[in-house]
Amino acid sequence: QVRLVESGGGLVKSGGSLRLSCAVSGFSLIDYYFSWIRQAPGKGLEWVAYISTNAAYTDYADSVRGRYTISRDNSKNLLYLQMNDLRADDTAVYFCARDRLYFAGLDVWGQGTTVTVSS
């Protein structure tokens, strides 16, 4: 069964750091691009970052560039999002998603993990 499971969310103070993980099962991480997407309370979906199959290419939303780092460990089937210098407006549910690019877009999503940044 194809599945993504996020973990690592929690409550952190403004200026702090968190690392989110996304565990992949049912398929091999190495074959796909991945994205992180977030959703602030009561708001819409915001794409955060992507990473290519071999991590050669990454990109970020302007709102997180320079503070967040996306990475992957293909040997462990794990995707990561390192979040530094967190701010109150980073509070959101964070989803990881498989990105099949032009073939089918974001076709598999995790259930999300909640990050709360207190000021």
State the binding string over 83-102 for other proteins (x if CB under 8 A, else -): ------------x---x-xx
76 within 8 A of 12, measured Cβ to Cβ:
no
8 Å CB contact between 61 and 47: yes
Q: Which residues pair with 12 in a beta bridge?
A: 117
Residue 88: DSSP 8-state: G
d(CA 27, CA 112): 19
The answer to whether residues 20 and 94 touch, using CB atoms and an 8 Å cutoff, is: yes
With CB under 8 A as the contact rule, the residue among 7, 10, 107, 118 that binds other proteins is 107
Examine residue 64 and tell whether it contacts other proteins (CB under 8 A). Answer: no
- Per CB under 8 A, the list member of 22, 29, 35, 90 interacting with other proteins is 35
109: contact with other proteins by CB under 8 A: yes
C-alpha 97, offset from chain centre: 8
Which of 11, 30, 45, 88 forms a contact with other proteins (CB under 8 A)? 45
Q: Does residue 27 touch other proteins according to CB under 8 A?
A: no
Among 47, 55, 70, 84, binds other proteins (CB under 8 A): 47
Q: Footprint of other proteins on this chain (CB under 8 A)?
A: 35, 37, 44-47, 50, 59, 61, 95, 99, 101-102, 104-112
